[in-house]
Structure 1
Amino acid sequence: MYKNLTNTIGTVISVQHISEERKATLQPLIDFVQQKTDNKQEVNINFICTHNSRRSHLSQIWAQVASAYFNIPNVRCYSGGTEETALFPKVAETLINQGLHIFKIAESNNPVYAIKYSDNALPVIGFSKKYDSPFNPVSAFAAIMTCSQADGGCPFIAGAEKRIPITFEDPKISDNAPEQSKVYAERSLEIAAEMFYVFSKISQ
């Protein structure tokens, strides 16, 4: 993994504190990943939020990085929304500052990004899409609801083997405010810490 990313991960692992309440919230995802790993099956996880622009992407990317860091095989992380918008530019900027390499591979109102955590690893492809986009798995996946609006607005996710609410506060609250960069960085690290906690609990 890239050196700056490794430094960020070291900080995440050593500094971030996860409450017992949040550990209980994360346990169903741990159980899902462990069951699939025990059965030597693919672990498909779709992180879902309203606009697929901020929290769902951060969760997707940090989960993929965490699975690679802990050498958990066959993990495929996706993201989607209840509607399609665009990956918010501050999310990409935040992840670059935290050590990932990101480059745009298609220009449009909804740009497509390649997000890399290591030179030789497959990139995570980041762009906004609906949760049931053909790009995402259609069955045998865990649907992780990363915002309360999507959780409440989507009572049924077709094809999901398990539906798990793991919600985060929207960093959008800081947009156009002086503390925007700080809030996005903190939310990204909070999500990273929880995804690293999940994958640290998986035994092989």
Structure 2
Amino acid sequence: MYPKLIQTIELLKNQEISEERKATLAPLVDFIQKRLEEQKEITINFICTHNSRRSHLSQVWAQVASSYYDIPNVMCYSGGTEETAMLPKVVETLEKQGFSISKISDTENPIYAVKYDEDRHPVIGFSKKYDSPFNPMHGFAAIMTCSQADGGCPFIAGADQRIPITFEDPKASDGTSEQTKVYHERSLQIGTEMFYVFSQIKK
């Protein structure tokens, strides 16, 4: 992994997680553990309303955490209840935290390659609906990262399990002097929790 990213990982591994939050994360730990023991692929789709902020951060950090803890056959995706675009501020935040990101399609809904290691496949980031053909159709855990998507999607077709793990929307800081700080902190929170999840897996 890239040296600056390793520094960020060391920072987030030292963050505290409340017992209440650990209880929220426990069903995802159980899903991953069960799939690993059954020697099945571990497929996770992080879902938010616009697939522009929290779901991308969750997808990226979960994929990195699985690699860091050497948990095999993990594929992380993200989607929304509608398609918009991955927010440039999310890209900027991840770059500052040590990722190498290149834009591979420059449209209204750009496609980004998010690399965390020179020799690993990048995470592909772009906005799409959760049931896009790019995403898994069956056998995945649907992680609802915002309360709007959780409430607005009573049924996720093909999901083996649906788990609400919601995060506050950094969008509230857009256009303010606090924006950079808020996005940095939200990314670290999500990274901290995804690293906690994968650190609990017994191989």
TM-score, structure 1 normalization: 0.99
Displacement of 1:139: 0.3
Q: How many residues align?
A: 203
* Counterpart position of 1:147: 146
**Match status 1:126 vs 2:121:** no
Secondary structure of the corresponding residue to residue 56 of structure 1 = helix
Displacement of 1:95: 0.2
* Counterpart position of 2:23: 24
Q: Which residue identity is paired with 1:132? A: D
Alignment of 1:1-204 (within 5 A): 1-14=1-14, 16-204=15-203
Unaligned runs of 5+ in 1: none
Q: Which residue identity is paired with 1:11? A: L
Partners of 2:156 and 2:132 in 1: how far apart? 12
Unaligned runs of 5+ in 2: none
Q: Which residue identity is paired with 1:6? A: I
Q: Which residue identity is paired with 1:9? A: I
Secondary structure of the corresponding residue to residue 48 of structure 1 = strand
Q: Which residue identity is paired with 1:189? A: L
Secondary structure of the corresponding residue to residue 137 of structure 1 = coil
User: 1:137-179 CA distances to partner (integer Å, 9 max, x unpaired)?
Assistant: 0000000000000000000000000000000000000000001
Q: Which residue identity is paired with 1:50? A: T
Q: Which residue identity is paired with 1:59? A: S
Displacement of 1:30: 0.1
RMSD across aligned positions (CA): 0.3
Displacement of 1:28: 0.2
User: 1:71-110 CA distances to partner (integer Å, 9 max, x unpaired)?
Assistant: 0000000000000000000000000000000000001000
Displacement of 1:5: 0.1
Displacement of 1:43: 0.2
TM-score, structure 2 normalization: 1.00
Q: Which residue identity is paired with 1:163? A: R
Q: Show structure 1 runs of 4+ deviating over 4 A.
A: none
Partners of 1:162 and 1:185 in 2: how far apart? 30
Partners of 2:99 and 2:38 in 1: how far apart? 31
User: 1:52-72 CA distances to partner (integer Å, 9 max, x unpaired)?
Assistant: 000000000000000000000
Secondary structure of the corresponding residue to residue 127 of structure 2 = coil
Displacement of 1:203: 0.7
Partners of 2:13 and 2:193 in 1: how far apart? 10
Secondary structure of the corresponding residue to residue 129 of structure 2 = coil
